[in-house]
């Protein structure tokens, strides 16, 4: 059986296909049909093209196989991933003894240059090493992060794109979003640098964060005009989600909860991701729902900016350039709401178009009404309290009068008895 990495198989094949390919490849590895071990110290990957094949140490090959097998890249076919997962299984179950004699992976000079982590297949130890080096540079003041008591900047973004007016929480969310991004346009070093920035902000600048204005206030949404028309409740749009054709001819895709959890891990805190379906099945689009409050809008805008930074935003999606790859996301606005497609139809069912100023005015009216209602309740309670106090005073006076009359009767009775006995 020939294992070609160029075989055109849908990158999002079913689990059953993955398991079948993996089991077949593992059996061939066990039967010795594919060469893995070159010598006591060196190994090769039988599933990579001959021209790219290289000699690995045991743990380097294990890292390579795991990286390809668990890759989310659509350039990797289902069969290619399954073959590499079979190689992981073979290395761990059948060649573990060989691994003990190999040099451990990640044994590098901690002060070496981090540029090597920009390769495709990069080990976690190299990422950690680069993150630690960047964190030390931040601690030593090699990069400017804090501009003033309330404003910060990201030292790892290109100067022409650098935003110099982050509040603490916004910068923390930006660094988290880039550090945990799954976009292939983000290099491993870029992600490691931003994860180091997260660590620096949380460990060394937390006090500055506590004095900053809390995230989620409308003042922090400086990039939004109060007259911009958003779909409310705040909603995001995700397009180009991976789908595959099922046996019945309809398209299917992953559940919305998986994408929601991924967005939560990046700090955007959506409440739900709702995939959109039509008569063909999964449409490859979804709406991302956020909380209705101001922190919800803050999260939605951060979500949009993160995808814009990865060049996976609305502008890039509607650009006339060639084939698109990866997921594109943005915040739903009036043009999306009024669009004549499955997205527009769903948005018109779940919400309406509002401006920030409309919502601020509505919130002010609600607060005024609440204050008015509470004032009326308090006044009613005060009147009731005064009535009760008056009743208590009247009852107390009546009781005092009865006690006095009782004492007089008792005194007269005692005097009468005394006179009678004498």
Q: What is the pLDDT of residues 129-152, one digit of tens each?
A: 888 888 888 888 888 888 887 888
Spatial separation of the C-alpha atoms in residues 212 and 167, rounded to whole Å: 7
pLDDT tier for residue 190 given thresholds of 50, 70 and 90 = confident
Q: What is the mean pLDDT of residues 49-54?
A: 64
pLDDT tier for residue 103 given thresholds of 50, 70 and 90 = very low
Spatial separation of the C-alpha atoms in residues 374 and 370, rounded to whole Å: 6
Q: What is the mean pLDDT of residues 375-386?
A: 91
- Residue the block writes with tokens 């030593």: 140
Among 197, 193, 194, CA closest to 205:
197
Q: Dihedral, CA atoms, 295, 301, 305, 311, nearest 10 degrees?
A: 140
pLDDT tier for residue 128 given thresholds of 50, 70 and 90 = confident
pLDDT tier for residue 217 given thresholds of 50, 70 and 90 = very low
CA atoms within 13 A on the CB side of 93: 10
Average pLDDT, the chain: 80
Cβ neighbors of 165 (< 8 A, separation 6 or more) are 151, 222
What distance lies between CA 359 and its chain's CA centroid?
A: 25
- pLDDT at residue 153 in the model: 86
Consecutive H or E run containing 153: none
- pLDDT at residue 70 in the model: 80
Cβ neighbors of 399 (< 8 A, separation 6 or more) are none
Consecutive H or E run containing 243: strand 243-245
Q: What is the pLDDT of residues 357-378, one digit of tens each?
A: 888 888 888 888 888 889 889 9
pLDDT tier for residue 259 given thresholds of 50, 70 and 90 = very high
Answer yes or no: is pLDDT of 230 > 90.
Answer: yes
Among 155, 251, 141, 249, CA closest to 197:
155
Among 289, 298, 295, CA closest to 270:
289
Cβ atoms within 10 A of the Cβ of 400, count?
10
Q: What is the mean pLDDT of residues 58-64?
A: 81
Spatial separation of the C-alpha atoms in residues 60 and 66, rounded to whole Å: 10
- pLDDT at residue 420 in the model: 64
Spatial separation of the C-alpha atoms in residues 409 and 137, rounded to whole Å: 97
Please tell me whether residue 281 adopts helix, strand or coil conformation.
strand
**Percent of the chain with pLDDT strictly greater than 90:** 24
CA atoms within 13 A on the CB side of 197: 30
Cβ neighbors of 44 (< 8 A, separation 6 or more) are 35, 36, 38, 53, 54, 55, 56, 61
Among left, alpha and beta (phi > 0; psi -120 to 50; other), residue 269 is left
Q: What is the mean pLDDT of residues 241-263?
A: 90
Among 129, 128, 112, 125, CA closest to 57:
125
pTM score over 0.85: no
DSSP bridge pairs for 331: 236
Q: Which letter, b or e, does each residue of 230-255 get, where b requires 16 or more Cβ atoms within 10 Å of its Cβ? A: bbbbbbbbbbebebbeeeeeeebbbe
Give the C-alpha distances (Å, rounded to integers) separating 396 from 90, 387, 401, 402, 407.
93, 14, 9, 10, 16
290 against 18, higher pLDDT: 290
Cβ neighbors of 373 (< 8 A, separation 6 or more) are none
Q: Worst-scoring range by mean pLDDT, 8-12, 47-51, 272-276, 346-350? A: 8-12
Q: Worst-scoring range by mean pLDDT, 93-97, 193-197, 274-278? A: 93-97
- pLDDT at residue 118 in the model: 47
pLDDT tier for residue 50 given thresholds of 50, 70 and 90 = low
pLDDT tier for residue 241 given thresholds of 50, 70 and 90 = very high
pLDDT tier for residue 222 given thresholds of 50, 70 and 90 = low
- pLDDT at residue 97 in the model: 59
pLDDT tier for residue 416 given thresholds of 50, 70 and 90 = confident
- pLDDT at residue 408 in the model: 86
pLDDT tier for residue 102 given thresholds of 50, 70 and 90 = very low
Give the C-alpha distances (Å, rounded to integers) separating 244 from 78, 253, 261, 284.
12, 6, 21, 10
First to last CA, the chain: 135
Among 195, 192, 215, CA closest to 203:
195
CA triplet 65, 71, 77: central angle to 5 degrees? Answer: 90
Task: Please answer whether residues 36 and 65 qualify as being in contact, where contact means their C-beta atoms are separated by less than 8 angstroms.
Answer: no
Answer yes or no: is pLDDT of 214 > 60.
Answer: no
Among 160, 38, 60, CA closest to 119:
60
- pLDDT at residue 2 in the model: 43
């Amino acid at each position: 059986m020939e294992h070609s990495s160029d075989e055109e198989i849908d990158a999002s094949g079913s689990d059953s296909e993955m398991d079948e390919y993996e089991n077949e490849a593992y059996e061939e590895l066990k039967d010795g049909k594919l060469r893995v071990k070159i010598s006591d110290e060196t190994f090769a990957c039988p599933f990579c093209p001959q021209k790219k094949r290289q000699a690995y140490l045991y743990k380097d090959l294990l890292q390579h196989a795991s990286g390809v097998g668990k890759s989310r890249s659509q350039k990797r076919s289902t069969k290619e991933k399954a073959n590499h997962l079979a190689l992981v299984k073979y290395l761990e179950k059948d060649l573990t003894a060989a691994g003990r004699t190999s040099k451990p992976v990640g044994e590098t000079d901690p002060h070496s240059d981090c540029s090597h982590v920009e390769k495709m297949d990069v080990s976690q130890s190299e990422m950690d090493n680069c993150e630690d080096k960047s964190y030390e540079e931040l601690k030593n003041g090699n990069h400017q992060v804090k501009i003033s008591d309330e404003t910060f900047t990201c030292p790892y973004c290109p100067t022409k794109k650098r935003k110099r007016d982050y509040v603490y929480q916004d910068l923390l969310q930006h660094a988290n979003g880039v550090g945990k991004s799954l976009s292939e346009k983000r290099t491993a070093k870029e992600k490691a640098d931003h994860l180091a920035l997260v660590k620096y902000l949380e460990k060394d600048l937390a006090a500055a964060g506590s004095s900053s204005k809390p995230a989620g206030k409308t003042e922090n949404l400086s990039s939004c005009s109060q007259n911009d028309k958003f779909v409310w409740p705040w909603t995001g749009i995700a397009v180009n989600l991976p789908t595959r054709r099922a046996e019945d001819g309809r398209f299917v895709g992953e559940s919305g909860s998986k994408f929601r959890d991924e967005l939560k891990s990046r700090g955007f805190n959506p409440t739900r991701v709702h995939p959109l379906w039509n008569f063909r099945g999964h449409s490859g689009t979804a709406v991302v729902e956020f909380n209705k409050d101001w922190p919800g809008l803050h999260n939605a805008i951060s979500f949009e900016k993160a995808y814009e930074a990865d060049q996976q935003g609305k502008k890039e999606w509607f650009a006339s350039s060639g084939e698109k790859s990866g997921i594109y996301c943005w915040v739903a606005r009036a043009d999306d709401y009024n669009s004549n497609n499955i997205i527009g139809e769903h948005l018109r069912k779940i919400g309406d178009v509002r401006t920030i100023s409309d919502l601020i005015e509505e919130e002010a009216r609600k607060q005024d009404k609440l204050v008015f209602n509470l004032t009326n309740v308090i006044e009613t309670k005060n009147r009731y309290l005064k009535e009760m106090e008056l009743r208590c005073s009247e009852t107390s006076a009546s009781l005092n009068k009865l006690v006095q009359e009782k004492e007089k009767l008792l005194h007269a009775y005692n005097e009468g008895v005394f006179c009678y006995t004498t």
